[in-house]
Amino acid sequence: MAWAPLLLTLLTYCSLSQFTLTQPPLVSVSIGNTVKLSCTVDSGYTFGSVTWYQQKDGNSPRYLLMYNKDSDKHQGSGVPSRFAGSKDTSNTIGYLTITSVQAEDEADYYCAAYASGAAQ
């Protein structure tokens, strides 16, 4: 198999203005490898659920999955199980892990979230 890097552009979407989500701007991964994309919430806030979307070539974003905890998660229709959500133990970083990355995974990835924190 030839080595072919994929560039995954990470973009952030937040529907509430009280907190900001941060993602690294660009991730490169070789086909067949695993990549773990991160989405971090502002200091002082913790995640409820984290939702991930994939957007290719200017098309509408595609819902991938929602992750709150192992007993509260949802996989989008037709989304392969190699796409998985998780969070760190402090609930401040949400992750999208893509195992066995394929060429068709090259896309922009967006996170959206519900978060809570003390009033400023």
Residue 10 has pLDDT above 70, yes or no: no
Alpha-carbon distances of 87 from 4, 32, 60, 102, rounded to whole Å: 29, 23, 26, 23
Residue ranges of domains in the chain? 5-117
| Count of Cβ atoms closer than 10 Å to residue 8 Cβ | 20
Q: pLDDT (tens digit, 9 = 90+) per residue, 31-89?
A: 999 999 999 888 888 888 999 999 999 899 999 999 999 999 999 999 999 999 999 99
Q: Chain centroid to CA 34: how far?
A: 14
Options 1.10.10.10, 3.30.420.40, 2.60.40.10, 3.40.50.80; which CATH number does 5-117 get? 2.60.40.10
Task: Report the predicted TM-score, pTM, of the whole model to 2 decimal places.
Answer: 0.81
Of residues 24 and 54, more confidence is placed in 54
Cβ atoms of 83 and 36 within 8 Å: the answer is: no
Structure tokens at 37: 């994309």
